[in-house]
Amino acid sequence: MGSTSDTFVNVLEASTVENCERVSQLKAQFLIQFNRTPSFIVRCSGRVNIIGEHVDYCGFPVLPMAIEQTILLAVAPSEDNLLHLKNINPKYKPFKCNINTFTIDLPEASGPEWYKYFLCGVKGILEHIAPKNPKGMAVVLSGNIPPASGLSSSSAVVSASVLCCAFLQNAPLVKQTLATVSADCERYIGTQGGGMDQAIAFLAKQGTAQFIEWNPLKATPVHLPKNAVFVIANSLSEANKAATSDFNQRVVECRLACRFLAKKMQLNWRDIWRFADLQKALNYSLEEMETLTNTYLTQLVYTRQELLEVFEMERDDFVENLLTANTRQSEVFKLRQRALHVFQESIRVKTFVEVAQRPTDRTIHLMKKLMRQSHESLRSLYECSHPNLDRLVELSDKLGVGARLTGAGWGGCIVALCDGVDQSLQYIDYLKEAYYADLTQAQGRNLDEVVFATSPQRGAEIYLEKPGVIG
């Protein structure tokens, strides 16, 4: 039952759900916790971004794909107006709140509690549809996306929450709308992301990557070479982008660089804060935007005082309107490096898609080269890599595998492109010996869950226990 179009989320019978063992465990835990069976299951995949890092919040396209690791929710309406939220992993404490009156505080230095990502989704959908009497719900969550690994575990929780809450409150299940709501509401946790994670969560298709564009949100399938095998390797260095100001510092630096260039080009700089909007206003190519950056952003570092003089504004105005809550203490900003990365990375995305659409014997070789260039830019210009990520990429180089960090960075995973199954198996075995064997964090871990090949999966879906019935 349900629609299988590009527009609406699939609503299927429970017998079609994958990962049956995990689903069985989830249902059993739901029965233990709530003394009843769930009404429906929500599945939402993690994602790996093949190329196009830190450009989505600047308004430029990206090329992610959904992966096999997922967030699963078992859900039923509750008899009260409470949200009862439990995690199948005992390390995550249960949570309960009134669905009408809860609040979401910005995270402490250690990062947000796991349930706050779920609350973001609930708050987002309730504000979007404004139901008169929102239903309470009982939820048990099961996740096998490694947290803080750059595979979008937190955004998958937010997106799964949006979908389950929308379905329970009888809201229309339109993919683009749910993706947009998910991207907007994750900002309640303080992260100024661009929407890629949430877009691929809903718009992914089996067997293809998705070229995702913004304003309006649009996903175009990109068929990858048949021989291309993507491997994800977790550095096991965790990075929670909501726990530090590193991520938002880069967002702010991009916005400042955009406004700096807009002012130099005598545009209304206060109204233009994304590079893509500036490019459109100027009617420039990406290459011309790169030249513009080299012409006007000549310093490696700009102080706060220098920017106050450039923008001809008062300190309070600058802090209140150009910075975020966790970057208000920043005194220095690297505008040139961030802008150059964004424009050059966006050129790489465009080239990668063109190469995929016109396959030749050199397609995989060219894709590997673009991915390696991406990592070098993220390391040197965007400064969001990590020594362990760099080590994994260097090891990949030795086997002729194209690799780059994926996700926000500062830890997490690399994504690597192998030419065929044989190279991927050799590569995985090599990393197990050369990287993981002596890594303290890897001791006692199942390495097949740490370094693995993956293929593009479907977007988020709902599975009903009894078709046509909720509750």
Tens digits of pLDDT across the chain (471 residues): 334 456 788 887 766 665 578 999 999 999 999 999 999 999 999 999 999 999 999 999 999 999 999 999 999 999 899 999 999 999 999 999 999 999 998 766 556 789 999 999 999 999 999 988 899 999 999 999 988 788 889 999 999 999 999 999 999 999 999 999 999 998 888 777 778 999 999 999 999 999 999 989 999 999 999 999 999 999 999 876 566 789 999 999 999 999 999 999 999 999 999 999 999 999 999 999 999 999 999 999 999 999 999 999 999 999 999 999 889 999 999 999 999 999 999 999 999 999 999 999 999 999 999 999 999 999 999 999 999 999 999 999 999 999 999 999 999 999 999 999 999 999 999 999 999 999 999 999 999 999 999 999 999 999 997 654 444
406 with 376, same domain? Answer: no
DSSP label at residue 94: P
The count of domains in the chain is 3
267 with 374, same domain? Answer: yes
| 322 falls within a domain | yes
| 310 falls within a domain | yes
16 with 97, same domain? Answer: yes
3-state secondary structure of 444: coil
| 108 falls within a domain | yes
Domain containing 123 — which CATH number?
3.30.230.10
Contacts of 431 (CB under 8 A, 6+ apart): 233, 392, 395, 451
347 with 444, same domain? Answer: no
pTM: 0.90
Angle CA(44)–CA(47)–CA(48) in degrees, nearest 5? Answer: 170
Domain containing 341 — which CATH number?
1.20.1440.340
253 with 340, same domain? Answer: yes
198 with 232, same domain? Answer: no
| 56 falls within a domain | yes
217 with 235, same domain? Answer: no
| 317 falls within a domain | yes
Catalytically annotated residues: 197
pLDDT in tens, 45-92: 999 999 999 999 999 999 999 999 999 999 999 989 999 999 999 999
104 with 217, same domain? Answer: yes
Cβ proximity of 65 and 457 under 8 Å:
yes
Full domain range(s) for residue 73? 10-222+457-464
Domain containing 423 — which CATH number?
3.30.70.3170
Q: Of all residues in the chain, what percent carry a pLDDT higher than 90?
A: 85
Where would I find the H helices in 244-360? 246-264, 275-282, 286-296, 304-311, 315-322, 335-357
100 with 163, same domain? Answer: yes
pLDDT value at residue 109: 58
* Rounded CA separation 68/156 (Å): 12
* Rounded CA separation 298/302 (Å): 10
Contacts of 122 (CB under 8 A, 6+ apart): 83, 99, 102, 161, 165
pLDDT value at residue 18: 56
112: preceding bond cis by omega (within 30 degrees): no
Cβ proximity of 201 and 152 under 8 Å:
yes
| 470 falls within a domain | no
63 with 120, same domain? Answer: yes
63 with 105, same domain? Answer: yes
41 with 187, same domain? Answer: yes
| 69 falls within a domain | yes
Query: Judging by DSSP bridges, how do beta strands 209-213 and 218-222 pair with one another?
Result: antiparallel
**Spacing of C-alpha 45 from chain mean position:** 11
| 153 falls within a domain | yes
pLDDT value at residue 234: 96
pLDDT in tens, 408-443: 999 999 999 999 999 999 999 999 999 999 999 999
